[in-house]
Structure 1
Amino acid sequence: MNTLTAIIHSEGELFLSFCSETGTVSQGNTIEEAIENLKEATELYLEEFPLSPISRSLITTFEVASVVTQ
């Protein structure tokens, strides 16, 4: 069993999900559906491309200066 990272954001009425360790992506109408669809997509991907030993991704935030346009 592998523990992977899911990054999720909303785009309109959909939730997009991304696995940073494999590069797989998916979507869903809810966060739960987006994660479940990502899990399925990642499992299918890993059948063809097994994972090498990996370290956990580090997820953080950072700030940038706001740019004001006129």
Structure 2
Amino acid sequence: MMNLKYQMIIQWSEDKSFLVGFPEFPGQTWRTHGDNYQEAVNNGIEALESLVIAYQTTGETLTKPTFNQAA
């Protein structure tokens, strides 16, 4: 598993699944989903790893992760 620092948003949807998105990647509003929260997390990690590999394979520049400061 890669040590990725990108944001992963998980949101409940009307079709009763958890949607997973990556706001730091343009055009990636909702990339995968899960029937429960843990499945969405697992699918999200796999999708993010695949997304990064695709960027690296095609030579596209990865966006820099956004970091938030804890209070």
Answer yes or no: same fold by TM over 0.5.
Answer: yes
Determine which structure has the larger strand proportion and give its number. 1
- Measure the CA separation in 2 of the matches of 1:54 and 1:2: 11
* Unpaired stretches in structure 2, ≥5 consecutive residues: none
- Measure the CA separation in 1 of the matches of 2:63 and 2:33: 27
1:25 aligns with 2:46: no
- Measure the CA separation in 2 of the matches of 1:53 and 1:13: 31
- Measure the CA separation in 2 of the matches of 1:42 and 1:55: 12
- Measure the CA separation in 2 of the matches of 1:30 and 1:44: 21
Q: For residues 7-22 of structure 1, what are the structure 2 equivalents within 5 Å?
A: 7-11=9-13, 12-22=15-25
Of structures 1 and 2, the one with the larger relative CO (CA 8 A, separation 6+) is 2
* Unpaired stretches in structure 1, ≥5 consecutive residues: 59-70
Superimposed CA distance per residue, residues 18-57 of structure 1 (whole angstroms, 9 cap, x where no aligned partner): 0112226110011111111011111112112035351416
Determine which structure has the larger helix proportion and give its number. 2
**Higher radius of gyration, 1 or 2:** 1
Q: Pairwise CA RMSD of aligned residues?
A: 2.2
The change in CA–CA distance for 1:53 and 1:28 in structure 2 (over 3 A counts) is closer
In percent, how many aligned pairs have the same letter?
21
